[in-house]
Amino acid sequence: MCGFCGVIEPGAAAEPALRQALERMNQTLLHRGPDDGGLWLDAAAGVGLGHRRLAILDLSPLGHQPMVSPDGRYVLAYNGEIYNYQALRRAIGDDYPWRGHSDTEVLLAWLSLRGPAATLTECNGMFAFALWDRQARRLTLARDRLGEKPLYYGYNRGRFLFGSELKAITAHPGWQGELNRDALAAYLRLGYVPAPHCIYRDLRKLAPGTYATLTPGQEEPTLHTYWSARSAAEQGLAAPFKGPEAEAVGALERLLMDAVGLRMRADVPLGAFLSGGIDSSTVVALMQAQSQRPVRTFTIGFHEAGFNEAEDARRVAAHLGTDHTELYVTAQDGLATIPSLARLWDEPFADPSQIPTLLVSEMARRAVTVCLSGDGGDELFGGYSRYLWTRDTWRRIGWVPLGLRRALAAAVTGIGTGTWDRLLAPVARFLPGPLAIANPGDRVHKAIDILTGDSPQALYLRMVSHWKDPAALVIGATEPLSVLTDPARRARTMSITESMMYMDSVLYLPDDILVKLDRASMGVSLESRVPLLDHRVYEFAWSLPLAWKVRGRRGKLPLRRILARHVPPALFERPKMGFGVPLAAWLRGPLRDWAEDLLAAERLARDGILRPAPIRARWAEHLAGRRDWSYYLWDLLMFQAWLDLARASGALGARP
């Protein structure tokens, strides 16, 4: 796990200037690779590669990057892990002039002997890399199948820049950044900037399963798809698993066992995140089944009962016999991370679970260098409760004419939330536990708005959207299309649930979940690995009938059955809690002054980016306790915090 950056600027800089610029870019990635750093330059061609190394496999200097092929033709800078590198090395054989034992050297050997297309289809891993072919004067950029590792690229003022993080690109002395208002609109809907878009107008994210080629003077890179999540899903649906359900569960367990085993290879201490939920517990159970010693597991707990899973994780760890560490954090611990969020994520990013993810990564890094994570199970096996809610809701209301539903919504929202609070208070007061909500009118307004979609996909779009019309909030913006808003981008699925699972696997998973995990873990020099996102698992999951994954109100049935072979169901069969923070209360309490400064009407008007009126209205309603706008407001606060940092660093002009 590392970070890299690079530049192509033919004839524009002498070697000292090129080296100085590259060194400045590379230093911004120190957190991704504190163990070693290197530069490689071809000043005559105007090409430079930089690399920071977090040593995981072959800790010797023989793993140093950028790495040059034995014949001197190819130069590689690479971030990630190729888990099947030993098999790939055997496939090349001992006649190759091997120098060390790193996966980097194996990847470089395959690229130089077989080319990018053949190499990428054989690699099982998480990775992004830049390969310079000195003879053909060609740059190849590539990214793993499901988007675990990041890669940004683009032209700025005539030079082509690329890197693992935006801060490396914007550190180039000649960089001049311009805000991408269209990307900002997409961000305000989703809470993240979806690929291929980027918050800077000149830059893009390389899409998962894609490699790009570029020669000096070429206006835009040529994009090649070597693996498609859509094709894999459609092929799985078209060729379902042949055999009984029990046989499929057994095949999945063997596949997951192999995926976990591959990700346990490391020459440094290794552990796992453990929440006590189905996904992380399955990963840890399969790790412990293959380990001769107790697996190191890590959990953080919160004193707020609605956000604490530490006790559940502790019971799972005790049953499996892991070497378990837990840390209870306070609101002050969470709040202390907020000033670093914009710097670590580089782009506006508004998933509040970034805070506990960063805290658990910091704790784990004190003991290990690699941690396995359980991400991906919800998208692959139907685990999100919103899938069930959308499915069931559409079955109940889909037959009602759209015009009638919209008329009903207008009538309901025409009554203020305060009035609904008074009307519903006598009932809400006697409801049990989480149903005894303080502001029932707020829930009524939000629920009725969701019901006005003209299709189940439109219903789902309303459900996962934050700001419902973000282009109206961002001055001069047009929201770009995504798989949520463009039917042509969706896979041909058989059901509402599968449609939602697919949309999440190509949008929410790579652009939110995996971005959150990468930045939080790499921000503290910790490598995170995700066994459930082995591409073989993804492909196999789509071959399973939906009824084997979701039945009634329960999802992730195959994982539940596998986990039950290792852990008593009583330890994991409970409602899904999630991994969040008490954001609504924080914004009314300890974060109030910070938020007020960032959302001040005068500041918003002076910036000329966002329209102040709807923002100030929601802020006032939230402070008064009439509505819970915490997620909407967090989107804005994370953008404003990013804007401050981008201006202060010079990455963005004073008036974007």
The DSSP-derived string for 417-467 is: HHHHHHHHHHHHTTS-GGGS-S-HHHHHHHHHHHTT-SSHHHHHHHHH-SS
Answer for the pair 519, 79: CB distance below 8 angstroms, yes or no: no
Are residues 291 and 266 in contact, defined by beta-carbon separation less than 8 angstroms?
Answer: no
Q: What is the pLDDT of residue 655?
A: 46
Contacts by residues 594-597 (CB-CB < 8 Å, ≥ 24 positions apart): 594/338, 594/637, 595/619, 595/633, 595/637
Bridge partners, 162 (sequence order): 6, 153
Query: How confident is the model at residue 395, as a pLDDT?
Result: 87
> Is the torsion defined by CA of 328, 632, 484, 186 positive or negative?
negative
Domains, the chain: 2-227 (3.60.20.10), 230-376+530-571 (3.40.50.620), 582-656 (no CATH)
H or E segment at 516? helix 514-522
Query: Residue 139: beta bridge partners?
Result: 132, 214
Answer yes or no: are the C-beta atoms of 191 and 349 closer than 8 Å.
yes
pLDDT at 213: 98
DSSP state of 508: I
The sign of the dihedral angle between the CA atoms of 481, 485, 488, 491 is positive
Cα–Cα dist 646/391, whole Å = 42
What pLDDT is attached to residue 246?
97
From the list 2, 5, 198, 371, the catalytic residue is 2
pTM: 0.94
Determine the Cα–Cα distance for residues 200 and 638; give it in Å rounded to an integer: 16
Smallest CA-to-CA distance from 82 within 56, 61, 64 is with: 56
Nearest to 529 by CA among 228, 254, 313, 287: 287
Q: Annotated binding residues, as ranges? A: 103, 300, 373-374
Cα 264 from chain centroid (whole Å): 21
For this structure, is 5 an active site residue?
Answer: no
Mean pLDDT by 10 residues, the chain (656 residues): 91 82 97 96 93 90 94 97 97 95 97 97 98 96 98 96 98 96 98 98 97 91 98 96 97 98 94 95 98 95 71 94 91 88 96 94 96 97 93 84 74 67 63 49 66 83 92 96 93 90 97 98 97 98 97 94 96 72 89 96 97 97 92 97 95 68
* pLDDT at 447 (0 to 100): 67
pLDDT at position 452 = 76
Distance CA 459, CA 455 (A): 6
- Cα–Cα distance between 52 and 150 in angstroms, integer? 15
- Whose CA is closest to 231, among 215, 213, 211, 210? 210
Binding-site entries for L-glutamine:
103
| Helix (H/G/I), strand (E/B), else coil: 41 | strand
* CA proximity to 626, closest of 472, 449, 419, 369: 419
Binding-site residues for ATP, in ranges, read 300, 373-374
64 to 53, 94, 146, 305, 337: CA distances (angstroms): 8, 21, 26, 47, 32
